[in-house]
Amino acid sequence: MARILVTGGAGYIGAHGCKALRAAGHEPIVFDNFRTGWRDAVKFGEMIEGDLLDLDALKAAFAQAKPEAVMHFAALSNVGESMADPELYWRNNVGGSLNLLTAMRDAGVGSIVFSSTAATYGEPDEDPITETARQAPINPYGASKLAVEKMLDDFEKAHGIRSIAFRYFNVAGADPERQVGEHHVPETHLVPNVLDSVAGARDALTINGTDYPTPDGTCIRDYVHVMDLVDAHVLGTEWLLAGKESLRLNLGTGSGFSVREVVDAASEVVGETVPMNYGPRRPGDPARLVCDGTRAREVLGWSPERSVMAQMIGDAWAWRQTGRYSR
């Protein structure tokens, strides 16, 4: 049993991370400013309200929580927003992480699992993408996450803080027990947008671009079930707590689904046609992002068994029907 400080523990992935930590016998302590997170999502342990940009609050949180390791989910993660307002992303994602590492150094906490992203690869020079592919982000969001990866390297060299940076591909689905799930305001992600369209909670889905160099002309992504994703984080935390070395690992399945294929799968799962229309490309969308996830399987023994499209959509739909948070 270990005490883990979970930044962003009230957000989509962070809340699932807390559930997984608790299920594995650990004690999550959420640190969140509730800017995009939900108070209703804090269900698996203590909560400290605070902002990563407030170094004093962060130091106080370490003194209170006495964590042995950190899971660092807290970040802004909307690519379009990062293009329009880069200052927001550099300040929050990079400045916030710098404060976090400073507080870890001062508190003598030597293990951190960090949410990085496939967006650090930009337009990838490999397909599928391995961890050694060139990292050349094409938007401030990806650049901010790559900057934190480099910061982690430097803090290890100088202060011995070991880290795992997981580079996420497309996360989808929800806790099958419906305690926590995905709820963003505004929502931009494909699966919840598809389900909101079916439920009549928004206008018809717009498919962003049909002229990509893919078999059906729509973008291809590698979708991973959020419960599988957070399982990797628990394995990663235990890896670091056992004194093992820093890692950089992709989290995805190696299977690509086009936007059209996701829409078709959702129609089948829900049993209704998805109202949709076709729009132009969304700026900054690479045509195809598919992961070579061999390394996470081999090194950590990770097995993403729930990352089946019908299961991800089914769990997201079940959560949408009954579980959603209220502010």
Question: What does the per-residue mask of binding to ligand UFG show for 157-196, with x meaning CB under 6 A?
Answer: ------------xx-----------------xxx--x---
97: contact with ligand UFG by CB under 6 A: no
Q: Is 141 a catalytic residue?
A: yes
283: contact with ligand UFG by CB under 6 A: no
147: contact with ligand UFG by CB under 6 A: no
296: contact with ligand UFG by CB under 6 A: no
- What minimum distance in Å lies between the beta carbon of 100 and ligand UFG? 19
Q: Total binding residues for ligand UFG by CB under 6 A?
A: 22
288: contact with ligand UFG by CB under 6 A: no
148: contact with ligand UFG by CB under 6 A: no
Among residues 141, 168, 212, 223, which one is catalytic? 141
- What minimum distance in Å lies between the beta carbon of 285 and ligand UFG? 5
Whether 206 contacts 327, CB under 8 Å: no
Q: Which of 206, 210, 214, 267 binds ligand UFG (CB under 6 A)?
A: 206
Structure-token match 């397909």, residue found: 127
Query: Scanning residues 222 to 281, which ones bind ligand UFG (CB under 6 A)?
Result: 259
Stretch that binds ligand UFG, among 64-72, 116-124, 129-137, 303-311 (CB under 6 A): 116-124
- What minimum distance in Å lies between the beta carbon of 81 and ligand UFG? 10
The Cα–Cα gap between 318 and 58 comes to 36
**Cβ closer to ligand UFG: 67 or 173?**
173
- What minimum distance in Å lies between the beta carbon of 317 and ligand UFG? 16
The Cα–Cα gap between 284 and 261 comes to 21
Report the interface residues with ligand UFG, using CB under 6 A. Answer: 77, 79, 117-119, 141, 169-170, 188-190, 193, 205-208, 219, 221, 259, 282, 285, 289
Q: Which residues are marked as active site?
A: 141
